[in-house]
Amino acid sequence: MKSAIDLLPTMVLDSLTSGILAVDSEFHVLHMNAKLAQLFGLDRERWIGRPAEEMFGSVETQVPARRLPLYRSRPKDNTRTHSREVEWSDGQRTLHLREDSGPLRDESGNFVGRLYAYHDLSWEKTIDQMKSEFISIASHELRTPMTSIKGSVDLILGGAAGEISADALELLEVAHSSCDRMIRLINDILDLSKIEAGQIRLKLAPIELTDPAELSIRSLKSLAAKDRITLSLESPQQLPLVHADKDRMEQVMSNLVFNAIKYSPPGGEVKIGLSAENGWVRCTISDQGCGIPEEDLHRIFGRFQQAGSPQRGGGTGLGLAISHALVTEHKGKIWAESRVGEGSRFIFCLPVAPALPAA
């Protein structure tokens, strides 16, 4: 009979809430804990010493409705750790799992097997879905009255209610600006919740990035003019087309230009530069602001993140996160370059659209 000390490793593994699978160098099952057996309905004793691929294959054969994008084959590089999210269903229940795996080594550092851990993310996914639904409903409910308030203020400022005093005009302009800011925040939150839920639908078409760049400058020209900030566009006459959603590209550029305006000093300049190189179309938005410390560059594309104190218009802290997500959805790349006191450059690249067949 085994002592408690001998049983301790098994007891520890069986107490974990994640499924654990250990395989040897030939990828035969060394051990599985109780949680793994419970997750997939496996008989532990039956599969010890047998190929792991057969084990998962047998479950798939028994229940054809199951989708098992789990352990399917040996990794090409056994020296590295791997992590991915997968969805598993047996027709009656669906599990969202994260699979983490890494090499097992002996005291001499030799590869002797691999350890797999399956974490059930179903509850977290449910909470995320509930959060996204709440944000979406709340944002829609807030946007309707805010739009009505803004419309009413617009009418009063336009003289629909008669002449107004200078003091009233000043207060109404503050209300109008606050309404605009609230509507931008609501729209940003809605966009972010759609992106996180995978509900963004891109209307892809071959476009030239000059068009959304000009539209973003036009929409922000009055804001920049308040502090004598110049907006300029530099683009070659012939720019390759990209396969993109024009409205979303305008949104990305407007977010980046708005961010540049916020941090620019009065009388400064914000430039949009477009160029093509090595199969990519590159867009660079540069400013003459205070710059971003190097240690903050890695986090500025996170939600509700701001680096330093803007000169004007605090913003929501969501614009860069949304821009990053939209560029990524377009299979592009986005990053920032900056030095304190020397301004910042926000750069994104999109792949050139494939050439259209001749008519």
Give the contacts of 119 (CB within 8 A, at least 6 positions apart): 18, 19, 97, 98, 100
Torsion angle of the four alpha carbons 342, 348, 349, 353, in this order, in degrees rounded to the nearest 10: -140
What is residue 340's three-state secondary structure?
A: coil
Report how far apart, in Å, the C-alpha atoms of 71 and of each of 20, 75, 317 are: 12, 9, 40
CA distance 156 to 134: 34
CA distance 275 to 285: 12
CA distance 344 to 287: 6
Tell me phi and psi for residue 278, to 5 degrees: 50, 45
- The per-residue pLDDT for 209 is 93
- The per-residue pLDDT for 214 is 93
Give the contacts of 240 (CB within 8 A, at least 6 positions apart): 276, 281, 352, 353
Report how far apart, in Å, the C-alpha atoms of 146 and of each of 80, 137, 139, 156, 157 are: 52, 15, 10, 15, 16
- The per-residue pLDDT for 210 is 92
- The per-residue pLDDT for 213 is 92
- Per-residue pLDDT 10s for the chain (359 aa) are 444 445 456 777 777 778 888 888 888 888 888 888 888 788 888 888 888 877 776 655 444 444 444 454 455 566 678 787 777 766 666 778 888 888 888 888 888 888 888 888 878 877 777 777 777 777 777 777 888 888 888 888 888 878 888 888 888 888 887 887 787 777 777 777 777 767 778 888 999 999 999 999 988 888 888 888 999 999 888 889 999 999 899 999 998 999 898 888 888 899 999 999 888 999 999 988 888 887 777 778 876 666 555 555 555 567 888 899 899 989 999 998 888 888 899 999 999 988 655 54
The pair of structure tokens assigned to 289 is: 């602001």
Tokens 């309707």 correspond to what residue?
144
Tokens 């879905």 correspond to what residue?
129
The answer to whether 300 and 261 have CB atoms below 8 angstroms apart is: no
- The per-residue pLDDT for 66 is 42
- The per-residue pLDDT for 2 is 47
What order of strands is seen across the sheet that includes strand 29-32? 29-32, 19-24, 111-120, 94-105, 82-89
Planar angle of CA 158, 163, 167, nearest 5 degrees: 95
254 closest CA partner among 290, 211, 289, 292 = 211
DSSP structural state of residue 255? H
Tokens 């892809």 correspond to what residue?
204
R_g of the chain, CA atoms, integer Å: 28
The answer to whether 52 and 20 have CB atoms below 8 angstroms apart is: no
Q: Which residues pair with 116 in a beta bridge?
A: 21, 101
Count of alpha carbons within 13 angstroms of residue 148, beta-carbon side: 5
Planar angle of CA 253, 131, 254, nearest 5 degrees: 10
Q: Which residues pair with 243 in a beta bridge?
A: 206
Read out DSSP for 95-137?
EEEEEEEEEEE-TT--EEEEEEEEEE-HHHHHHHHHHHHHHHH
The answer to whether 271 and 229 have CB atoms below 8 angstroms apart is: no
The pair of structure tokens assigned to 79 is: 């020296």
CA distance 123 to 141: 27
DSSP structural state of residue 353? P
Tokens 């789990």 correspond to what residue?
70
292 closest CA partner among 346, 254, 328 = 346
- The per-residue pLDDT for 69 is 43
- The per-residue pLDDT for 313 is 54
